[in-house]
Amino acid sequence: MNKAFTREPDGDLDDDEDAGPALPALPAGARNYVTPQGYARLRAELMQLMDDERPKVVEVVSWAAKNGDRSENGDYLYGKKRLREIDRRIRFLTKRLDIAEVADPSAHHGSDQIFFGATVTYANAKGERRTITIKGIDEVDNLKGEVSWVAPIARALIKAREGDEVTLPTPGGVERLEVLVVSYPAPGTPN
């Protein structure tokens, strides 16, 4: 076989691993909306990694490198792996913060129309109620009932008002949802 058609690693064997996972998908041309609290959490994580965790790991790796044979040095091998993980997360956070657009949901306090940051209670045709909060991709916690603004349920609900009926395409067919309650955090309160 011609060598031109074979892939050989360039330098470090971990280059593919270092690429890391792709960023969660945003719709083409869409902005990366995030709440002020979400932005602060992402920024705090970035600063903690850069100012605290990374220097400690670099110190351990430097110490371990001085101990001789690196191929069997657990501190060195683990430290280098952890350093790659930290650097990958730093790159991810930096990219996300660079494209973030902070949107304060309290600006819509008192409104009955659904926008980014709304907490919405809706019911399906069976009468089952569910409450969700629409947040940014990088700050959602599904266990707390938070969904990304690009999630199908959020996209179906956005711009609807209390009392409106919306349709949600699902794998099992189209589901009709009735918007029961829309609320936003009061200005100056964390959401």
For 25, residues 6+ apart whose C-beta sits below 8 A from its C-beta are 150
Output the six-digit token pair for 95. 């990219």
pLDDT at 20: 47
Residue reference for tokens 């990304």: 148
pLDDT exceeds cutoff 60 at 17: no
27: confidence class by pLDDT, cuts 50, 70, 90: low
Q: Name the amino acid, one letter, at 74.
A: G
CB contact at 8 A, 125 and 92: no
Alpha-carbon distance of 18 to 11, in angstroms, equals: 13
Alpha-carbon distance of 45 to 140, in angstroms, equals: 15
- 99-144 residue pLDDT tens: 899 999 988 888 899 999 999 999 998 989 999 999 999 899 889 9
Alpha-carbon distance of 182 to 163, in angstroms, equals: 10
Domains of the chain in sequence order: 30-102 (1.10.287.180), 105-183 (3.10.50.30)
- Mean residue pLDDT of the chain comes to 85
Instruction: Considering only the C-alpha atoms of the chain, give the largest distance between any 2 of them, rounded to a whole number of Å.
Output: 71
pTM for this predicted structure: 0.75
- 167-179 residue pLDDT tens: 999 998 999 999 9
Burial of 117 from C-beta contacts in 10 A (0-12 / 13-18 / 19+):
buried
pLDDT at 128: 93
Give me the percent of the chain exceeding a pLDDT of 90. Answer: 59
Give me the percent of the chain exceeding a pLDDT of 70. Answer: 83
